Amino acid sequence: MNDIVEYGLREAYKSMKSMDKLAQIDPMIEWESLRPLMKDLYRNDTIKGGRPDIDEIVMIKTLFLQSMYNLPDESMEKELYNRIDFRNFLHYPEIIPDSRTIWLFRERLSSTGKDKIIWKHIWKNLEDHGIIIKKGTVQDATFIESDPGKHGRKKPPSPLDPVPPETAKDVKEGTSMKDESASAATLKKMTKEEKRQSRIRNAERKRMRREERRYGKTRRSKDGTWTKKNNASHFGNKLHTVQGTYLPLIREFVVTTASLHDSQVDLSIPGIPCYKDKGYAGAYCKDTNATMDKASREHPLTIEKIR
């Protein structure tokens, strides 16, 4: 069945081959030379483990397409099923990467620093074939949403819930998890040594609670932060990219927390004009600053600047 589907896709692709830019870019890049770089990303230590069903080169090409067309993971999965030129670029794989697989592969590359190595290799191949940025670059940022997890007040414990070991020990010793300094009458009866020991215990309990909040099991990303844009809250990270105006390929990228303002990241290239939206007004630029003008209080934009 897969052979029939692949044959149908190949036949349908023939009619649009002359219009496909991806078919021209594909042979310029030495994809197979990237395969040894991926060896240590996967392990085969158990019977259930092993290398992924999806080929590493297919995954790298998927991330290349995603960056070229600026698609989120869910949209990327959909386009891989819908677009024949994408399938041809991936050489018609039997298994199409889903959004979760794409996200995990990108995170694994990012955590090992191999994403930048791969990107430098791709750009070196393109530049060797005469594809360079001349006319200008466009810098922008987009949110990478993460699961914020559960937040708000904790649900009060039920009498049927098991007693934590620390609480059980305190109950046995005749104390409670509440700060012993809450009662003034109790403080008066305590000696200096008892007060000192009480402060030590309270400080240790607070430290344990902080450690539990920081390292406890939670869905929330520990690297993500909150920010607000257009009255909408976002949690996670932010991807800052710069790409060419003629060929929409990302030249460089930086991932930061969502709360960092766009103007704090400069990816402009010396000798090339950099176009940015008005959110970057006043930010530093290495060369010709083509940032949009921004109106301020009592200083509206002129008709020429608006145009």
DSSP 252-276: EEEEEETTS-GGG-----TTS-EEE
Residues 6+ apart with CB under 8 A from 104: none
The residue among 135, 138, 62 whose CA lies nearest residue 98 is 62
DSSP 87-155: HHHTT--SSPPPHHHHHHHHHHHHHHTHHHHHHHHHHHHHHHTT----S-EEEEEEEEE------SSPP
State the burial class of residue 161 (Cβ atoms within 10 Å of its Cβ: 0-12, 13-18, 19+): exposed
In the chain, the N- to C-terminal Cα span, in Å, equals 56
Number of C-beta neighbours around residue 194 at 10 A = 13
Residue that has been written with the tokens 């010396």 in this structure: 270
Q: Which residue type sits at 244?
A: G
- Structure tokens given for 289: 């600053």
pLDDT value for 168: 47
State the burial class of residue 234 (Cβ atoms within 10 Å of its Cβ: 0-12, 13-18, 19+): buried
pLDDT value for 8: 74
**pLDDT tens, position by position, for the chain (307 residues)?**
466 667 677 777 777 777 788 888 899 999 999 998 887 776 655 555 555 568 899 999 999 888 888 788 888 999 999 888 898 899 888 889 998 888 888 888 888 888 889 988 988 898 888 777 666 788 888 877 777 766 554 555 555 555 555 554 454 444 444 444 445 566 666 778 888 888 888 888 888 877 766 665 555 666 778 888 888 888 888 888 887 776 667 777 788 888 888 888 888 888 788 888 888 887 888 877 888 888 888 888 888 877 7
